[in-house]
Amino acid sequence: MTPNIIGFSFILLGIFLIIGKILRSNITGLRKLFLPSSIIAGFVALFLGPEILGRIVELFAKEETFFHNGLIPEDILSVWSTLPGLFINIVFAALFLGKVVPNLKKIWLIAGPQVVMGQTVSWGQYVVGLLLTIFILTPFFGMNPLTGALIEISFVGGHGTAAGLSGTFEELGFAEGADLAVGLATIGIVSGVIVGIIIINWGARTGRAKFVGGKDKRELTEEEKEKLAELEDRETNVTKTKQTTSMEPLAFHLAIVGAAIALGYVLLELIVLLERYTWGSWTGVQLFPYVPLFPLAMVGGMVIQIYLDRTGKSKYIDREMVNRISGFSLDILIVSALASLSLAVIGDNLAPFLLLAVVAIGWNVFAFLVLAPRMIPQFWFERGIGDLGQAMGMTATGLLLMKIADPDNESPALEGFGYKQILFEPLVGGGIFTAASLPLIYQFGAPAILVLSIVVMTFFLLFGLFYFGGRKAKA
Protein backbone atom coordinates (compact mmCIF):
# COMPACT_ATOMS: atom_id res chain seq x y z
CA MET A 1 0.00 0.00 0.00
CA THR A 2 1.82 3.07 -1.29
CA PRO A 3 1.27 6.75 -0.37
CA ASN A 4 -0.04 7.29 -3.90
CA ILE A 5 -2.72 4.63 -3.38
CA ILE A 6 -3.73 6.21 -0.06
CA GLY A 7 -3.94 9.66 -1.64
CA PHE A 8 -5.90 8.40 -4.64
CA SER A 9 -8.33 6.57 -2.36
CA PHE A 10 -9.33 9.91 -0.79
CA ILE A 11 -9.70 11.50 -4.23
CA LEU A 12 -12.01 8.65 -5.23
CA LEU A 13 -14.04 9.10 -2.04
CA GLY A 14 -14.51 12.75 -2.98
CA ILE A 15 -15.70 11.78 -6.46
CA PHE A 16 -18.27 9.38 -5.00
CA LEU A 17 -19.49 12.05 -2.58
CA ILE A 18 -20.09 14.39 -5.52
CA ILE A 19 -21.95 11.60 -7.35
CA GLY A 20 -24.05 11.01 -4.23
CA LYS A 21 -24.89 14.70 -4.00
CA ILE A 22 -25.89 14.85 -7.70
CA LEU A 23 -28.09 11.76 -7.39
CA ARG A 24 -29.78 13.11 -4.28
CA SER A 25 -30.47 16.45 -5.96
CA ASN A 26 -32.05 14.84 -9.01
CA ILE A 27 -33.92 11.82 -7.61
CA THR A 28 -37.04 12.76 -5.67
CA GLY A 29 -37.32 9.37 -3.94
CA LEU A 30 -33.91 9.76 -2.33
CA ARG A 31 -34.81 13.23 -1.03
CA LYS A 32 -38.08 11.94 0.39
CA LEU A 33 -36.15 9.35 2.39
CA PHE A 34 -33.90 12.15 3.72
CA LEU A 35 -30.86 10.02 2.95
CA PRO A 36 -27.59 11.95 3.34
CA SER A 37 -25.40 12.18 0.25
CA SER A 38 -22.68 10.13 1.95
CA ILE A 39 -24.97 7.10 2.33
CA ILE A 40 -26.01 7.34 -1.32
CA ALA A 41 -22.35 7.69 -2.31
CA GLY A 42 -21.48 4.63 -0.25
CA PHE A 43 -24.11 2.53 -2.01
CA VAL A 44 -22.90 3.70 -5.43
CA ALA A 45 -19.33 2.71 -4.51
CA LEU A 46 -20.59 -0.63 -3.17
CA PHE A 47 -22.46 -1.28 -6.43
CA LEU A 48 -19.39 -0.50 -8.55
CA GLY A 49 -17.10 -2.65 -6.43
CA PRO A 50 -16.44 -6.40 -6.38
CA GLU A 51 -19.50 -7.21 -4.24
CA ILE A 52 -22.10 -6.30 -6.90
CA LEU A 53 -20.65 -5.27 -10.28
CA GLY A 54 -17.77 -7.72 -9.86
CA ARG A 55 -20.14 -10.61 -9.14
CA ILE A 56 -22.37 -9.69 -12.08
CA VAL A 57 -19.39 -9.63 -14.46
CA GLU A 58 -18.23 -13.00 -13.09
CA LEU A 59 -21.41 -14.57 -14.44
CA PHE A 60 -20.71 -13.50 -18.04
CA ALA A 61 -16.97 -12.98 -18.40
CA LYS A 62 -13.64 -14.60 -17.71
CA GLU A 63 -11.32 -13.77 -14.82
CA GLU A 64 -8.99 -11.64 -16.93
CA THR A 65 -11.85 -9.29 -17.87
CA PHE A 66 -11.20 -5.67 -16.85
CA PHE A 67 -14.43 -5.42 -14.82
CA HIS A 68 -13.93 -8.80 -13.13
CA ASN A 69 -13.58 -7.22 -9.66
CA GLY A 70 -15.70 -4.17 -10.40
CA LEU A 71 -14.40 -0.67 -11.02
CA ILE A 72 -12.71 -0.21 -7.65
CA PRO A 73 -9.25 -1.79 -7.23
CA GLU A 74 -8.58 -4.04 -4.26
CA ASP A 75 -5.81 -1.69 -3.04
CA ILE A 76 -8.32 1.16 -2.77
CA LEU A 77 -10.79 -1.04 -0.88
CA SER A 78 -8.00 -2.07 1.49
CA VAL A 79 -7.41 1.59 2.35
CA TRP A 80 -11.13 2.30 2.71
CA SER A 81 -11.64 -0.65 5.07
CA THR A 82 -9.22 0.92 7.57
CA LEU A 83 -10.73 4.43 7.51
CA PRO A 84 -13.84 3.89 9.70
CA GLY A 85 -11.75 2.84 12.68
CA LEU A 86 -9.63 5.99 12.33
CA PHE A 87 -12.23 8.64 11.55
CA ILE A 88 -14.65 7.53 14.26
CA ASN A 89 -12.11 8.89 16.76
CA ILE A 90 -12.39 12.36 15.21
CA VAL A 91 -16.19 12.26 15.27
CA PHE A 92 -16.34 11.39 18.97
CA ALA A 93 -13.47 13.66 20.02
CA ALA A 94 -15.41 16.58 18.52
CA LEU A 95 -18.71 15.66 20.13
CA PHE A 96 -18.57 18.12 23.05
CA LEU A 97 -15.89 20.57 21.88
CA GLY A 98 -17.19 24.11 21.64
CA LYS A 99 -20.48 23.35 23.36
CA VAL A 100 -21.62 25.36 26.35
CA VAL A 101 -22.59 22.72 28.88
CA PRO A 102 -25.24 23.88 31.38
CA ASN A 103 -25.26 22.64 34.95
CA LEU A 104 -26.67 19.17 35.57
CA LYS A 105 -29.69 20.50 37.47
CA LYS A 106 -30.86 22.51 34.44
CA ILE A 107 -30.25 19.55 32.13
CA TRP A 108 -32.30 17.28 34.39
CA LEU A 109 -35.19 19.72 34.77
CA ILE A 110 -35.54 20.17 31.02
CA ALA A 111 -34.43 16.82 29.59
CA GLY A 112 -34.91 14.36 32.47
CA PRO A 113 -37.82 12.43 30.89
CA GLN A 114 -36.00 12.15 27.54
CA VAL A 115 -32.80 11.01 29.25
CA VAL A 116 -34.66 8.25 31.08
CA MET A 117 -36.64 7.29 27.98
CA GLY A 118 -33.49 7.15 25.85
CA GLN A 119 -31.66 5.00 28.40
CA THR A 120 -34.63 2.64 28.69
CA VAL A 121 -34.81 2.17 24.91
CA SER A 122 -31.05 1.67 24.52
CA TRP A 123 -30.69 -0.85 27.33
CA GLY A 124 -33.84 -2.52 26.04
CA GLN A 125 -32.10 -3.00 22.71
CA TYR A 126 -29.44 -5.01 24.52
CA VAL A 127 -32.16 -7.03 26.27
CA VAL A 128 -34.09 -7.95 23.12
CA GLY A 129 -30.87 -8.51 21.15
CA LEU A 130 -29.35 -10.80 23.75
CA LEU A 131 -32.61 -12.70 24.28
CA LEU A 132 -32.90 -13.26 20.53
CA THR A 133 -29.27 -14.38 20.34
CA ILE A 134 -29.31 -16.69 23.36
CA PHE A 135 -32.58 -18.48 22.56
CA ILE A 136 -32.72 -18.40 18.74
CA LEU A 137 -29.70 -17.11 16.83
CA THR A 138 -26.97 -19.08 18.61
CA PRO A 139 -28.72 -22.46 19.06
CA PHE A 140 -30.47 -22.53 15.65
CA PHE A 141 -28.16 -20.49 13.41
CA GLY A 142 -24.81 -20.89 15.17
CA MET A 143 -24.32 -17.14 15.54
CA ASN A 144 -21.56 -15.76 17.75
CA PRO A 145 -22.88 -14.58 21.17
CA LEU A 146 -21.51 -11.10 20.32
CA THR A 147 -24.48 -10.84 17.95
CA GLY A 148 -26.52 -9.80 21.00
CA ALA A 149 -24.91 -6.35 20.97
CA LEU A 150 -25.53 -5.64 17.28
CA ILE A 151 -28.92 -3.94 17.68
CA GLU A 152 -27.73 -1.25 20.08
CA ILE A 153 -24.44 -0.76 18.22
CA SER A 154 -26.20 -0.37 14.86
CA PHE A 155 -29.51 1.31 15.64
CA VAL A 156 -28.64 3.78 18.41
CA GLY A 157 -24.95 3.88 17.57
CA GLY A 158 -25.48 4.28 13.81
CA HIS A 159 -23.04 3.84 10.94
CA GLY A 160 -20.20 5.59 12.74
CA THR A 161 -20.20 3.32 15.76
CA ALA A 162 -20.91 0.19 13.72
CA ALA A 163 -18.00 0.82 11.38
CA GLY A 164 -15.73 2.16 14.11
CA LEU A 165 -15.97 -1.10 16.06
CA SER A 166 -14.74 -3.19 13.13
CA GLY A 167 -11.34 -3.65 14.78
CA THR A 168 -12.93 -4.85 18.00
CA PHE A 169 -15.13 -7.33 16.11
CA GLU A 170 -12.05 -8.70 14.37
CA GLU A 171 -9.97 -8.96 17.56
CA LEU A 172 -12.76 -10.89 19.27
CA GLY A 173 -13.09 -13.40 16.43
CA PHE A 174 -16.33 -12.07 14.95
CA ALA A 175 -15.08 -10.12 11.93
CA GLU A 176 -18.36 -10.61 10.07
CA GLY A 177 -20.10 -8.71 12.86
CA ALA A 178 -18.82 -5.42 11.45
CA ASP A 179 -20.52 -6.00 8.10
CA LEU A 180 -23.74 -7.08 9.81
CA ALA A 181 -23.61 -3.98 12.03
CA VAL A 182 -23.17 -1.57 9.10
CA GLY A 183 -25.97 -3.33 7.23
CA LEU A 184 -28.28 -3.06 10.24
CA ALA A 185 -27.39 0.62 10.64
CA THR A 186 -28.53 1.17 7.05
CA ILE A 187 -31.80 -0.65 7.73
CA GLY A 188 -32.19 1.48 10.85
CA ILE A 189 -31.83 4.87 9.22
CA VAL A 190 -34.13 4.04 6.28
CA SER A 191 -36.80 2.42 8.44
CA GLY A 192 -36.44 5.22 11.00
CA VAL A 193 -37.46 7.86 8.47
CA ILE A 194 -40.24 5.76 6.92
CA VAL A 195 -41.72 4.49 10.20
CA GLY A 196 -41.28 7.87 11.86
CA ILE A 197 -43.20 9.74 9.14
CA ILE A 198 -45.97 7.10 9.18
CA ILE A 199 -46.31 7.55 12.94
CA ILE A 200 -46.36 11.34 12.64
CA ASN A 201 -49.17 11.13 10.08
CA TRP A 202 -51.05 8.80 12.41
CA GLY A 203 -50.44 11.18 15.30
CA ALA A 204 -51.78 14.12 13.27
CA ARG A 205 -54.94 12.22 12.32
CA THR A 206 -55.64 11.09 15.89
CA GLY A 207 -54.80 14.41 17.54
CA ARG A 208 -51.75 13.14 19.37
CA ALA A 209 -49.38 15.28 17.28
CA LYS A 210 -50.69 18.78 17.86
CA PHE A 211 -48.11 20.88 16.03
CA VAL A 212 -47.64 19.09 12.69
CA GLY A 213 -47.37 21.71 9.96
CA GLY A 214 -46.72 24.55 12.40
CA LYS A 215 -49.00 27.46 13.21
CA ASP A 216 -49.65 28.17 9.55
CA LYS A 217 -49.75 24.46 8.65
CA ARG A 218 -47.04 24.94 6.04
CA GLU A 219 -44.85 22.29 4.47
CA LEU A 220 -41.12 22.26 5.14
CA THR A 221 -39.16 24.21 2.55
CA GLU A 222 -36.56 22.50 0.38
CA GLU A 223 -33.83 24.38 2.27
CA GLU A 224 -35.15 23.07 5.61
CA LYS A 225 -35.31 19.54 4.21
CA GLU A 226 -31.71 19.77 2.99
CA LYS A 227 -30.52 20.98 6.39
CA LEU A 228 -32.39 18.21 8.18
CA ALA A 229 -30.74 15.60 5.98
CA GLU A 230 -27.28 16.58 7.20
CA LEU A 231 -25.55 14.03 9.36
CA GLU A 232 -24.85 16.37 12.25
CA ASP A 233 -26.69 19.12 14.07
CA ARG A 234 -24.78 22.06 12.60
CA GLU A 235 -25.52 24.40 15.46
CA THR A 236 -23.76 27.72 15.83
CA ASN A 237 -21.76 28.33 18.98
CA VAL A 238 -23.84 30.49 21.32
CA THR A 239 -20.85 32.58 22.31
CA LYS A 240 -18.79 34.79 20.03
CA THR A 241 -15.65 33.05 18.91
CA LYS A 242 -12.33 34.82 19.14
CA GLN A 243 -10.21 34.17 16.06
CA THR A 244 -6.61 33.06 16.38
CA THR A 245 -4.28 35.30 14.39
CA SER A 246 -1.08 33.28 14.55
CA MET A 247 -2.56 30.05 13.19
CA GLU A 248 -4.98 29.02 10.48
CA PRO A 249 -8.34 28.39 12.28
CA LEU A 250 -8.86 25.03 10.61
CA ALA A 251 -5.38 23.88 11.62
CA PHE A 252 -5.97 25.14 15.17
CA HIS A 253 -9.23 23.23 15.53
CA LEU A 254 -7.71 20.11 14.01
CA ALA A 255 -4.96 20.41 16.61
CA ILE A 256 -7.54 20.64 19.41
CA VAL A 257 -9.36 17.57 18.09
CA GLY A 258 -6.02 15.79 17.82
CA ALA A 259 -5.20 16.74 21.40
CA ALA A 260 -8.53 15.26 22.52
CA ILE A 261 -7.74 12.00 20.73
CA ALA A 262 -4.23 11.94 22.20
CA LEU A 263 -5.61 12.52 25.69
CA GLY A 264 -8.10 9.71 25.12
CA TYR A 265 -5.27 7.43 24.02
CA VAL A 266 -3.28 8.20 27.16
CA LEU A 267 -6.36 7.57 29.33
CA LEU A 268 -7.01 4.24 27.60
CA GLU A 269 -3.39 3.11 28.00
CA LEU A 270 -3.44 4.05 31.68
CA ILE A 271 -6.64 2.07 32.22
CA VAL A 272 -5.16 -0.92 30.38
CA LEU A 273 -2.07 -0.78 32.62
CA LEU A 274 -4.21 -0.40 35.73
CA GLU A 275 -6.30 -3.41 34.75
CA ARG A 276 -3.23 -5.49 33.91
CA TYR A 277 -1.66 -5.03 37.34
CA THR A 278 -4.83 -5.05 39.49
CA TRP A 279 -8.13 -6.83 38.86
CA GLY A 280 -6.89 -8.21 35.54
CA SER A 281 -4.05 -10.14 37.18
CA TRP A 282 -6.26 -11.17 40.10
CA THR A 283 -9.10 -12.54 37.99
CA GLY A 284 -7.37 -13.38 34.71
CA VAL A 285 -10.01 -11.32 32.85
CA GLN A 286 -8.76 -8.65 30.43
CA LEU A 287 -11.40 -6.20 29.20
CA PHE A 288 -9.88 -2.85 28.23
CA PRO A 289 -7.37 -4.10 25.62
CA TYR A 290 -10.45 -4.77 23.46
CA VAL A 291 -12.11 -1.40 24.10
CA PRO A 292 -11.62 0.92 21.08
CA LEU A 293 -10.21 4.41 21.38
CA PHE A 294 -13.22 6.51 20.32
CA PRO A 295 -15.20 6.60 23.62
CA LEU A 296 -12.04 7.70 25.44
CA ALA A 297 -11.44 10.30 22.70
CA MET A 298 -14.89 11.64 23.57
CA VAL A 299 -13.85 11.83 27.23
CA GLY A 300 -10.67 13.61 26.14
CA GLY A 301 -12.77 16.21 24.30
CA MET A 302 -14.96 16.71 27.38
CA VAL A 303 -11.91 17.20 29.59
CA ILE A 304 -10.43 19.79 27.21
CA GLN A 305 -13.74 21.66 26.97
CA ILE A 306 -14.13 21.75 30.76
CA TYR A 307 -10.57 23.08 31.08
CA LEU A 308 -11.22 25.77 28.45
CA ASP A 309 -14.48 26.77 30.16
CA ARG A 310 -12.84 27.12 33.57
CA THR A 311 -9.87 29.09 32.26
CA GLY A 312 -12.01 31.42 30.15
CA LYS A 313 -10.44 30.24 26.89
CA SER A 314 -13.47 28.51 25.38
CA LYS A 315 -13.99 31.59 23.18
CA TYR A 316 -11.21 30.29 20.93
CA ILE A 317 -13.27 27.23 19.95
CA ASP A 318 -15.66 27.73 17.05
CA ARG A 319 -18.38 25.09 17.21
CA GLU A 320 -19.19 25.57 13.53
CA MET A 321 -15.58 24.77 12.62
CA VAL A 322 -15.65 21.72 14.88
CA ASN A 323 -18.86 20.62 13.15
CA ARG A 324 -17.19 20.97 9.76
CA ILE A 325 -14.34 18.70 10.89
CA SER A 326 -16.73 16.20 12.46
CA GLY A 327 -19.08 16.25 9.47
CA PHE A 328 -16.22 15.69 7.01
CA SER A 329 -14.96 12.77 9.09
CA LEU A 330 -18.42 11.21 9.31
CA ASP A 331 -18.95 11.53 5.57
CA ILE A 332 -15.61 9.82 4.87
CA LEU A 333 -16.37 7.15 7.45
CA ILE A 334 -19.81 6.29 6.04
CA VAL A 335 -18.76 6.18 2.38
CA SER A 336 -15.73 4.01 3.11
CA ALA A 337 -17.68 1.68 5.42
CA LEU A 338 -20.52 1.10 2.96
CA ALA A 339 -18.17 0.79 -0.02
CA SER A 340 -16.16 -1.96 1.71
CA LEU A 341 -19.25 -3.77 3.06
CA SER A 342 -19.31 -7.52 2.46
CA LEU A 343 -22.71 -8.48 1.08
CA ALA A 344 -21.60 -12.11 1.12
CA VAL A 345 -21.50 -11.99 4.92
CA ILE A 346 -25.03 -10.58 5.10
CA GLY A 347 -26.22 -13.14 2.53
CA ASP A 348 -24.70 -15.99 4.52
CA ASN A 349 -26.47 -14.73 7.65
CA LEU A 350 -29.64 -13.37 6.04
CA ALA A 351 -32.16 -14.96 8.41
CA PRO A 352 -30.39 -13.74 11.59
CA PHE A 353 -29.90 -10.34 9.96
CA LEU A 354 -33.61 -9.96 9.17
CA LEU A 355 -34.64 -11.22 12.61
CA LEU A 356 -32.39 -8.66 14.29
CA ALA A 357 -33.82 -5.87 12.14
CA VAL A 358 -37.46 -6.84 12.77
CA VAL A 359 -36.97 -7.23 16.52
CA ALA A 360 -35.13 -3.90 16.74
CA ILE A 361 -37.82 -1.99 14.84
CA GLY A 362 -40.55 -3.71 16.85
CA TRP A 363 -38.96 -2.80 20.20
CA ASN A 364 -38.38 0.83 19.21
CA VAL A 365 -41.95 1.31 17.98
CA PHE A 366 -43.34 -0.41 21.09
CA ALA A 367 -41.26 1.84 23.34
CA PHE A 368 -42.58 4.95 21.59
CA LEU A 369 -46.25 3.95 21.47
CA VAL A 370 -46.50 2.29 24.89
CA LEU A 371 -43.74 3.66 27.13
CA ALA A 372 -43.33 7.26 25.94
CA PRO A 373 -46.90 8.35 26.89
CA ARG A 374 -46.37 6.89 30.36
CA MET A 375 -42.83 8.20 30.95
CA ILE A 376 -42.90 11.69 29.44
CA PRO A 377 -45.32 13.96 31.37
CA GLN A 378 -45.92 16.69 28.77
CA PHE A 379 -45.59 16.74 24.98
CA TRP A 380 -44.85 13.04 24.93
CA PHE A 381 -45.39 12.73 21.17
CA GLU A 382 -43.06 15.55 20.12
CA ARG A 383 -40.38 14.57 22.64
CA GLY A 384 -40.70 10.83 22.16
CA ILE A 385 -40.53 11.01 18.36
CA GLY A 386 -37.00 12.40 18.67
CA ASP A 387 -36.00 9.47 20.86
CA LEU A 388 -37.58 7.09 18.35
CA GLY A 389 -35.61 8.64 15.49
CA GLN A 390 -32.34 8.43 17.39
CA ALA A 391 -33.06 4.84 18.46
CA MET A 392 -33.78 3.86 14.84
CA GLY A 393 -30.87 5.54 13.12
CA MET A 394 -28.92 8.47 14.45
CA THR A 395 -29.24 11.86 16.09
CA ALA A 396 -30.06 13.54 12.78
CA THR A 397 -33.05 11.21 12.30
CA GLY A 398 -34.41 12.31 15.68
CA LEU A 399 -33.94 15.97 14.75
CA LEU A 400 -35.66 15.39 11.43
CA LEU A 401 -38.74 13.77 12.97
CA MET A 402 -39.02 16.43 15.67
CA LYS A 403 -38.83 19.16 13.05
CA ILE A 404 -41.67 17.54 11.08
CA ALA A 405 -43.78 16.99 14.22
CA ASP A 406 -43.08 20.45 15.67
CA PRO A 407 -41.63 22.76 12.97
CA ASP A 408 -42.09 25.96 15.00
CA ASN A 409 -40.60 24.50 18.21
CA GLU A 410 -43.81 25.11 20.16
CA SER A 411 -42.91 22.28 22.54
CA PRO A 412 -39.71 21.83 24.61
CA ALA A 413 -38.80 18.75 22.53
CA LEU A 414 -35.83 20.20 20.64
CA GLU A 415 -34.23 21.84 23.68
CA GLY A 416 -34.71 18.70 25.77
CA PHE A 417 -33.33 16.52 22.99
CA GLY A 418 -30.16 18.60 22.81
CA TYR A 419 -29.61 18.52 26.56
CA LYS A 420 -30.38 14.80 26.65
CA GLN A 421 -27.26 13.99 24.63
CA ILE A 422 -25.00 15.28 27.42
CA LEU A 423 -26.27 12.58 29.81
CA PHE A 424 -26.92 9.98 27.10
CA GLU A 425 -24.04 9.74 24.63
CA PRO A 426 -21.18 9.28 27.10
CA LEU A 427 -22.68 5.90 28.12
CA VAL A 428 -24.75 4.37 25.29
CA GLY A 429 -25.44 5.16 21.64
CA GLY A 430 -21.73 4.90 20.85
CA GLY A 431 -20.54 5.74 24.35
CA ILE A 432 -18.39 3.84 26.80
CA PHE A 433 -20.75 0.92 27.41
CA THR A 434 -21.48 0.53 23.70
CA ALA A 435 -17.77 0.15 23.06
CA ALA A 436 -17.30 -2.13 26.07
CA SER A 437 -20.34 -4.34 25.35
CA LEU A 438 -18.45 -6.58 22.92
CA PRO A 439 -15.51 -7.38 25.22
CA LEU A 440 -17.93 -7.71 28.15
CA ILE A 441 -19.96 -10.36 26.32
CA TYR A 442 -16.72 -12.00 25.19
CA GLN A 443 -15.31 -12.18 28.71
CA PHE A 444 -18.40 -12.86 30.82
CA GLY A 445 -20.84 -14.43 28.37
CA ALA A 446 -24.13 -13.28 26.88
CA PRO A 447 -26.32 -14.46 29.83
CA ALA A 448 -24.37 -12.35 32.35
CA ILE A 449 -24.65 -9.19 30.23
CA LEU A 450 -28.33 -9.98 29.62
CA VAL A 451 -28.92 -9.94 33.38
CA LEU A 452 -27.00 -6.66 33.70
CA SER A 453 -28.99 -5.12 30.84
CA ILE A 454 -32.31 -6.24 32.35
CA VAL A 455 -31.39 -4.72 35.71
CA VAL A 456 -30.34 -1.37 34.24
CA MET A 457 -33.30 -1.22 31.83
CA THR A 458 -35.72 -2.06 34.65
CA PHE A 459 -34.25 0.69 36.82
CA PHE A 460 -34.74 3.35 34.13
CA LEU A 461 -38.14 1.94 33.18
CA LEU A 462 -39.50 2.02 36.74
CA PHE A 463 -37.92 5.40 37.41
CA GLY A 464 -39.58 6.81 34.31
CA LEU A 465 -42.97 5.24 34.99
CA PHE A 466 -43.24 6.15 38.65
CA TYR A 467 -41.23 9.37 38.92
CA PHE A 468 -42.03 11.17 35.67
CA GLY A 469 -45.21 9.19 35.02
CA GLY A 470 -46.35 10.08 38.52
CA ARG A 471 -45.93 13.75 37.71
CA LYS A 472 -48.29 13.35 34.79
CA ALA A 473 -50.87 11.65 36.98
CA LYS A 474 -50.78 14.53 39.48
CA ALA A 475 -51.00 17.18 36.75
CA 456/CA 349 separation, integer angstroms: 30
- pLDDT score of 157 more than 90: no
User: Does some domain include residue 266?
Assistant: no
The count of structural domains within the chain is: 1
Whole-angstrom distance, CA of residue 347 vs CA of residue 139 = 19
Asked, for residue 274, whether it belongs to a domain, the answer is no
Q: Is 256 contained in some domain?
A: no
Q: Is 160 in contact with 430 (CB distance < 8 Å)?
A: yes
**Mean pLDDT in the chain?**
85
Q: What is the pLDDT of residues 287-341, one digit of tens each?
A: 778 788 888 888 899 899 989 988 988 888 998 899 899 889 988 988 988 888 8
What one-letter code names the amino acid at 459?
F
In a domain, residue 277? The reply is no
Q: Provide, rounded to the nearest whole percent, the portion of the chain with pLDDT above 70.
A: 88
Domain carrying residue 120: 3-237+300-474
CA 142 to chain CA centroid, Å, is 27
Domain membership of residue 108 (yes or no) is yes
| 420 contacts: CB under 8 Å, gap ≥ 6 | 111, 114, 115, 118, 387
User: Cα 279 to chain center, whole Å?
Assistant: 31
Contact yes or no for 261/268 (Cβ under 8 A): no
Q: Please report whether residue 145 resides in a domain.
A: yes
pLDDT score of 229 more than 60: no
Q: Does 261 fall in a domain? A: no
Instruction: Kindly tell me if the per-residue pLDDT of 259 is higher than 80.
Output: yes
What is the pLDDT at residue 356? 96
Task: For residue 253, tell me if it sits in a domain.
Answer: no
Predicted local confidence at residue 36, as pLDDT: 78
Instruction: Give the confidence band of 235 by pLDDT, cuts at 50, 70, 90.
Output: very low
Query: In this predicted model, what pLDDT tens digit does every residue of 339-384 receive, in sequence order?
Result: 888 888 889 999 999 999 999 999 999 999 999 999 998 889 999 9
- What's the pLDDT tens digit per position in 70-87? 888 888 999 998 888 888
Task: Label residue 232 by pLDDT band (50, 70, 90).
Answer: very low
What is the distance between the alpha carbons of residues 257 and 68, in angstroms, rounded to a whole number? Answer: 41
